[in-house]
Amino acid sequence: MSLATDVADDLRVRLGKPYVVRGFLPTVDAVPHPTVAVWQTRVVKAPLLGHNVLQFEITVQVIVGEEDMAAADRALDVALLDVLDALQRISLVDWTGADRVVREDAHHAYNINCQALAKIGE
């Protein structure tokens, strides 16, 4: 298991339906339900916290399927707040900001930048 998979599993439980949560960046054709994708983007040593501590940078993407801009804005606002609330409740994750993006020229989304710490070995 990876840290991103653990975060995805936790979000899946906390968000429930109608959210679809994936532990990877999916190819998106249609988005009938708000979709959350979680993946690791970087791992660095955190020597000030211990010789066996790593800092993971994780992206959590919130995607909605509405193509009309006004409908997408409303759906994305609700979904973003739901996901941020769920992330706040995961003790190992600290989110630092969210950037608006458009996936495949059609699907509106936010990329939430997160950090998490984990130990390796002992």
* Count: domains in the chain: 1
Q: Which residue range is the domain that position 27 belongs to?
A: 3-119
59 beta partners:
39, 113
Cβ atoms of residues 64 and 108 within 8 Å: yes
98 beta partners:
112
pTM for this one? 0.88
- CATH number (domain holding residue 105): 3.30.2000.10
Q: Walk along the chain (122 residues) and give the pLDDT tens digit of each residue.
A: 588 899 999 999 999 899 999 887 666 677 778 889 999 999 998 877 778 889 999 999 999 887 778 888 899 999 999 999 999 999 889 999 999 988 777 788 999 999 998 888 86
